[in-house]
Structure 1
């Protein structure tokens, strides 16, 4: 994935990020996620981001944590607001484009009501590597994807898929296929492309097998 010239160099990435805990929605490097922002606290978050580097950290809430209703998973992905528009009814409609994953080290004092975290990027420095490795089993991966889409009645632009680079393909599918929230988190946390693709293929095969046996998985 070639990074936009508007994204900071890896060495210039911020130590602190505003976070947007959003269940079931994930981004990965190169993936675009449209968002409709209307809650006052998140409108404030977007305004703060637009006043600085346009960067927001998207994280998954840690559902079921007995110690805190505000708990979040420790691995998320940073995205940059690459386009936005304001509506007459007070919403902001934007596109968040993922560019690098991060590990949350600790949550810090909110800024004007916006949750912030201290992060480390080092674990995911490979997200900045333009020379991404290739899948060793792309044909098998595509076969699993076809089976999954047929069983789950998911429409895929196959002509576009065939021309996508391996890394862009896997990241896009991780974000947009109808997978379980926990499965999506596991995919985000898997650092290497081949391992992420292998995990995803296993998840697709299990889902297709369950559908074949008459059990449709609900997400």
Structure 2
């Protein structure tokens, strides 16, 4: 497990809209663009093997200020030179200035302050009402035409349940960013519930029946 002392000052950044990585969660990625193949190659030569996942903001090259760094924990190469990799979420960070020097991909100075809890143990959510939460989730999945292993969800611990749903549910990029920036697991759960309820209302402000 990485410690605060292991976190580098500069990390490569992979901007990918709608892709959410959270601490202690896992994100599979398909790498095929030449610049990101180079990024992966360079990343694997470092001791931390960290890649920063950040969502683009608006048009152009603008990025959201907060992302999450993941450690490359698994990868396989296809016959045509592409990679399937798995990132294990380590810690969120704030983007500072962009690093100088030539690179085909973007690198940024990372500020890890304020996210020390990301390196600790899994969070619990004492306010989670599982029965009502699973009822809402079932309605949301039916509305969206989604399938899941319900037994696994029911047996998952608080953090695994909430974070997995935050990463997998088909929300807009700005909603994914709000889930990422939630300071605690209970606030992420509250945000997740709000987003599901909003979707069930058809994305309008009308009251639910």
TM-score of the superposition, structure 1-length normalised?
0.86
Q: Aligned residue pairs: how many?
A: 203
* 1:81-133 deviation line (CA, Å, top 9, x unaligned): 11111222121121112121111122121553231111111221111221523
Alignment correspondent of 1:217: none
Distance 1:119 1:17, change over 3 A: same
CA contact (8 A) 2:122 2:159 kept: no
Mapped to 2, the partners of 1:113 and 1:189 lie a distance apart of 28
Distance 1:189 1:131, change over 3 A: closer
Alignment correspondent of 2:49: 54
Structure 1: unaligned runs, 5 residues or longer? 214-219
> Are 1:14 and 2:5 an aligned pair?
no
CA contact (8 A) 1:152 1:208 kept: no
Decide which moves more: 22-31 or 131-140. 131-140
> Are 1:181 and 2:173 an aligned pair?
yes
Mapped to 1, the partners of 2:126 and 2:68 lie a distance apart of 22
> Are 1:98 and 2:89 an aligned pair?
yes
Distance 1:154 1:212, change over 3 A: farther
Q: Please, which of 126, 134, 137 is the counterpart of residue 125 of structure 2? A: 134
Q: Secondary structure, in 3 states, of the residue corresponding to 1:109?
A: coil
CA contact (8 A) 1:58 1:78 kept: yes
CA contact (8 A) 1:58 1:77 kept: yes
CA contact (8 A) 1:19 1:57 kept: yes
Q: Please, which of 180, 196, 204 is the counterpart of residue 204 of structure 1? A: 196
CA contact (8 A) 1:36 1:93 kept: yes
Alignment correspondent of 1:163: 155
TM-score of the superposition, structure 2-length normalised?
0.90
* 1:162-217 deviation line (CA, Å, top 9, x unaligned): 1111112111111111111110011111111111110110110111121899xxxx
Q: Secondary structure, in 3 states, of the residue corresponding to 2:138?
A: helix
Q: Please, which of 102, 109, 112 is the counterpart of residue 100 of structure 2? A: 109
Distance 1:167 1:84, change over 3 A: same
Q: Which structure 2 residues correspond to residues 15-94 of structure 1 after superposition, within 5 A? A: 15-52=9-46, 53-64=48-59, 69-94=60-85
Moved over 3 A (4+): none
Alignment correspondent of 1:216: none
